[in-house]
Structure 1
Amino acid sequence: MSRQGRGYAFTPGIYSDAQVEAWRSVTNAVHRAAGKIVCQLWHVGRMSHVDLQENGAAPVAPSAIQAGELIFLETRTQAAPSMPRATAEIPALVNDYRNAAGRAKDAGFDASRSIRRTTICSSNSSATAPTSTPIGTAARLRIEPVSRSTS
């Protein structure tokens, strides 16, 4: 859904014009076969590594809480996720979701679906993170992109 939301090597995106064009050939083929296709939008938050981020930046997450799993990198190796930066950039992700939903529509997807777990899950957010409390703030980050992209 954005370059910043990337967390695994070799995953497809929909944040560039070239990606939209490439997806268009896929959606056209699905529609020719009388099918329907949905674009799943996802920002991985803390489940990323600096090697997957633009300019080696730390991943963006609601809190600086490092994930415990391993990340598959483009070097075909695995590494622990990088320590995320807890940042005020989280609200800007609303716009990233909105842009991705628009690009999915431009690419011919019948719908887009977003997955956002990190801002509402207590294991991913500290009690002081601006998106973790109150619960309405976290919920707004889920609802706002959808309502704006469909209006």
Structure 2
Amino acid sequence: MTTTSPTTAVRAGGTRTTPPPSPRQGPYVCGLDAAMDVVSGKWKALILWELEEHGVRRYAEMRRGLPGVSDKVLAQQLREMEADGLLVREVFPEVPPRVEYSLTEHGSALNTALGALGDWGQDRIERLQAPAPAETAGGRQGSGWRAS
């Protein structure tokens, strides 16, 4: 890879741009506040998962992998994630233009950190799908409440 300026690197015929600084630089109350600032947005965690699962993705591939997201929202979320240093947008000088997205080390590290949250969410899905506890004369079993 050869560097052409502080903000642009060329690799395999493509241009990789370094994103502008994140819109919010703090002050943060705690680490969780800083992390949630980066992943807030309905589609960001799913975009992270999509890129982790499939590696390099083109825009249309991500759009198909995220049913329900609009073009406007996907483009906005990708721009914000690029600005936060979570992904790289690589533009290739071809006709028609080819743009590919991939995770940075920072994005992969965030994905790893979100793994425990995903496990918690999967447990929640299973709890919500489980049949309700049986009703008894003394009240509901397993509700955590005692009959008085």
TM-score (norm. length: structure 2): 0.27
The structure with the largest helix share of the pair is: 2
Between structure 1 and structure 2, the one with the greater Rg is 2
Higher relative contact order (CA 8 A, sep 6+): 1
The structure with the largest strand share of the pair is: 2
